[in-house]
Chain A
């Protein structure tokens, strides 16, 4: 009895996790646009009086952008489709944790860069 219902529960969990992972991805991706646009704005200020601070903000933006792209390059729907349900739940759980960290990094980096006024 448990065999059937347990695997059904895992299946459901895996689907939920996949939705959460992809949702978070869709929330984060448009933010790269903000990052690139802020980088361009800061570029013109990088030799001014606040150059040390501006360059620090720029490095942080580049790091957060790279972290997003790195996540993207390692995440694979193809490998996911070949996994059994137990591995799926494990894989998606890890991916979700990574994305949550990425979200914190992106939001705090964007917040700091937007707060800067020359």
Chain B
């Protein structure tokens, strides 16, 4: 009978250990944070991707409203890119195929050469890859708007570290965005191992409420 408290405390220790492990598995919120007091409680406002509206390969408008309740991966590319884009494409295809039956996951590929990458050029590109909207949207629109969104909203860590070389345009980055448009991770989309890590993180986000 005296063993009971010990057994209980061991159980407690184990459950605390498990809880702390699970806690480690949550993803950070990237980007500038703002805190303010609401009714004596500290409320944190996380960096959020602002509203946007671009045309996809089917000439359909895609906005932040279409991403409500979706987890998505954003990247920047252009159809005539000879170097890093083919590698990124291979990795995105892995993600697309893995989540082809999961309606919670989306891919938004923004063209950084929108004048050339019209919806019909993007359509041809998507058809060659055999991918479809809305699961994988290839977006085109105002060049300044796309660059501003990439630079100021998606590449949040690059801003924090001013010494970091290069911008978003040719970085090959994949940006993981949660259901509330908060940036939760940035990965090198040209590296298979980094993309494995991204997939693990998508799984964590899928568990989040």
* Chain A residues engaging chain B, CB cutoff 8 angstroms: 22, 25-26, 29-30, 32-34, 36-37, 39-40, 69, 72-73, 75, 77
* Chain B residues engaging chain A, CB cutoff 8 angstroms: 78, 80-84, 112-113, 115-116, 143-144, 147-148, 151, 166-171
For the complex formed, measure the closest distance between the CB of A70 and the CB atoms of chain B, giving whole angstroms: 9
| 26 interchain pairs, CB-CB under 8 A | A22-B83, A25-B82, A25-B83, A26-B83, A26-B84, A26-B170, A29-B170, A30-B166, A30-B167, A30-B170, A30-B171, A32-B112, A33-B151, A33-B167, A33-B169, A34-B167, A37-B147, A37-B151, A39-B144, A40-B148, A69-B113, A72-B78, A72-B80, A72-B82, A72-B113, A73-B116
Residues of B within 8 A of A75 (CB): 80, 82
| Interface of A, helix, strand, loop or mixed by DSSP | helix
A29 and B169 contact, CB distance less than 8 A = yes
Alpha-carbon separation in the docked complex, A63 to B143 (Å) = 15
A73 and B168 contact, CB distance less than 8 A = no
Alpha-carbon separation in the docked complex, A48 to B151 (Å) = 26
For the complex formed, measure the closest distance between the CB of A25 and the CB atoms of chain B, giving whole angstroms: 6
Q: Assuming the A-B contacts A22-B82, A25-B82, A73-B80, are A33 and B113 also in contact, with contact meaning beta carbons closer than 8 angstroms in the complex?
A: no
Nearest CB in chain A to that of B86: its residue: A77
Residues of B within 8 A of A36 (CB): 143-144, 147
Alpha-carbon separation in the docked complex, A23 to B143 (Å) = 25
Alpha-carbon separation in the docked complex, A33 to B167 (Å) = 7
Nearest CB in chain A to that of B113: its residue: A69
